[in-house]
Structure 1
Amino acid sequence: MKFTVLTLFPEIPRAFFEASIMAKAVEKGIIAYDLVNIRDFAFDRHKTCDDKPYGGGAGQLLMAEPLGRALDSVKAYKKHVIYVTPSGKPFTQKKALELSQKDEIVLVCGRYEGIDQRIIDLYVDDEISIGDYVMSSGELAATVIVDSVYRLVENVITPESLDEESYSDGLLEYPQYTHPAVYKDLTVPEVLTSGNHELIRKWRLKKRLQKTLANRPDLIASARMQGLLTTEAEKMIEEIAEQVSLKHVRKNRRK
């Protein structure tokens, strides 16, 4: 799989591609990348790539001509082009999995107030937002997408590492523990050292449900709609709800 990143600041994504698991994937030939500096396609000696928006308003926009020339140079019309923008569709694990099946992805990194709409109309296949907030760096947002996608490509990491991750089946991940067994008087849950794999499985499922109910109850509703929750999981949800209700009753009694 290949990632092509169009940016005014190639040094930002370069650090990511040259480190950790990504560097190993590149070395093995599983992942390839190309960093394209949009300024190389500007017309004037100052390498101008932005200008004031028509109609007035604050800030600057990336101009259509340099960006269009950069996209043409990588034959973007043959590839899947993503523009990372706060006004795009929310990025999800499902979308990351879908993108991991592509042979090549081109990411356009916005800056300032964004890019000329004509580039979006002519070149962009997906407008993606990584969250309901605004960043000054399209490079950082693009790197988030790359990181979420490349790790799902076959042979980058072991399949077992992906099986029970957050969002893999609609739930958040369970709590994890490692050595030492005791840290500041807190001990590892006894079930995890029991060697009983069935008890460990049930404990982990219940913890996943508890965490999802506490932090992202909307995911439970979504998992139900998609038929992802088993009868066992539904029973555990009832048990968790009863335990929470009892805690509230006891708390109120103390008052």
Structure 2
Amino acid sequence: MRIDIISIFPEYLAPLHESLIGKAIADGIIELEVHDLRDWTYDNHHTVDDSPYGGGPGMVMRPDIWGRALDSVAGSAWPPTQYGAGYGAEYGSEYDDVLGETVSGTAELVGARTPQGPVLVIPTPSGQRFTQEVAEELSVASQLVIACGRYEGIDGRFALDAARRMTVRELSIGDYVLAGGEAAALVMVEAIGRLLPGVLGNVDSAGDDSFSRGAAGLLEGPVYTRPADYRGLEVPEVLLSGHHAQIARYRRDESLRRTARFRPDLLADLPAESCDEHDLDVLTELGLGLPTVLAERVAAQREARAAKKRRRLPH
């Protein structure tokens, strides 16, 4: 996979050359290039921003500078913009059509393409939530271009223009605001990069991670290693038993309990029909920690199974 990151603070991305991602870069699994947005500016001051139309505080990053950068970084992997370097004063009717889309229409336009070529990722607090599922989707792309905005963000026309040629994902790593997109880019590259073949030493390591499909969208339970007794706290006996089925059962129970405690919202998406009798016991035991919708589904599933058993009894 090739990853290009564009920023006005390229030094911020230096940590990517450390640890697992750094090794993946050294091994050629990831081809990483970090670019300085100011390399595509026009003036001696390397200006990348201007005052917002309509007034308001702060500065907005210019779409023409970002457009030049994206044209250059994506290269021959996508058709060059018809408006040329710097665009110019007249955008044309096609641009007006795109600009005239509603917010929902824009989202539909941006998300409509499958990643067959470069994918433009724009970290922004107003974007779609970046989740493990999104990381998995992006891990199959051939090239990611991450545009790290600053100030009040990047002019919205930049994403609209790019969306006519490639997949664009505007993504948020959480419900808070950062000074720029660089910290989010670090998070995304690590989350995506560790899913690539050859990055993790054990190919199964990512399969049972919290939020992964292998974990059924649940949080991973606590893990343990030596010593077996740490300051009077002992490793759960079942983990020392060597009984694989019981160990799997214990881990599933702990996963359900931890999810109910810290992220009960995730249980709302857990299909009750995917739970066995023991799962239902654990979920019922958790009681008020369950979202109402799941509690109702669990109760209905229990009743359905009880009715099925009654039908099997001889009359």
TM-score by length of 1: 0.89
1:81 is matched with which residue?
A: 120
Matches within 5 A, 1:117-196: 117-124=156-163, 125-157=168-200, 158-168=202-212, 169-196=216-243
Q: Which residue of 2 aligns with 1:110?
A: 149
**Bigger radius of gyration:** 2
Q: 1:79 deviation in Å?
A: 1.3
Letter in 2 for 1:131: G
Kindly state the Cα deviation for residue 231 of structure 1 after the two structures are TM-superposed.
4.8
How high is the TM-score relative to the length of structure 2? 0.72
For 2:246, which of 196, 199, 204 is the aligned residue? 199
In 2, the alpha carbon distance for the partners of 1:210 and 1:87 equals 31
Deviations 1:129-160 (A, max 9, x none): 11111110210111111111111111211221
Distance 1:48 1:80, change over 3 A: same
Flag the 1:109–1:163 CA change in 2: closer, same or farther, 3 A.
same
**Counterpart for residue 249 of structure 1:** none
Q: Which runs of 5+ in 2 are unaligned?
A: 79-116, 291-315
Q: In structure 2, how many angstroms separate the alpha carbons of the residues matched to 1:12 and 1:231?
A: 50
Q: Give the CA deviation at 1:232.
A: 4.2
| Structure 1: runs of 5 or more not aligned | 245-255
Q: What are the Cα deviations for residues 98-120 of structure 1, in whole angstroms up to 9, with x where unaligned? A: 11111111110010100111111
Separation (CA, whole Å) in 2 of partners of 1:28 and 1:156: 9
**Cα distance in structure 2, aligned partners of 1:184 and 1:73:** 58
Query: Aligned equivalents of 1:83 and 1:48: distance in 2?
Result: 20
* Aligned residues between the structures: 242
Matches within 5 A, 1:45-84: 45-75=44-74, 77=78, 79-84=118-123
1:8 equivalent in structure 2: 8
Name the residue aligned to 2:104. Answer: none
Q: Are 1:170 and 1:228, in contact at CA under 8 Å, matched by a contact in 2?
A: no
CA RMSD between the two structures = 2.0
Percent identity over paired residues: 41
How far, CA to CA, are the matches of 2:70 and 2:136 in structure 1? 24
- Corresponding residue for 2:282? 236
Is 1:41 equivalent to 2:40 in the alignment? Answer: yes
What's the CA shift for 1:121? 1.0
Q: Following the alignment from structure 1 to structure 2, what is the Cα–Cα distance between the partners of residues 171 and 153? A: 22
Give the drift of 1:230.
4.4
Q: Does the Cα contact within 8 Å between 2:5 and 2:147 map onto a contact in 1?
A: yes
Partner Cα distance (2:52, 2:171) in 1: 22
Which shows bigger deviation, 214-223 or 202-211? Answer: 214-223
Q: Secondary structure at the match of 1:209?
A: helix
Residue pair 2:40, 2:68 contacting (<8 A) in 1 also: yes
Q: Which amino acid aligns with 2:181?
A: G
1:62/1:95 Cα in 2 relative to 1: closer, same or farther (>3 Å)? Answer: same
Contact 2:218–2:256 (8 Å) recurs in 1 = yes
The separation in 2 between residues aligned to 1:228 and 1:129, in whole angstroms, is 30
Q: 1:234 aligns to what SS in structure 2?
A: helix
Report the alpha carbon displacement of residue 191 of structure 1 after superposing the two structures with TM.
1.5
Q: Kindly tell me: are residues 187 and 97 of structure 1, through their superposed partners in 2, closer, same or farther at Cα, counting changes over 3 Å?
A: same
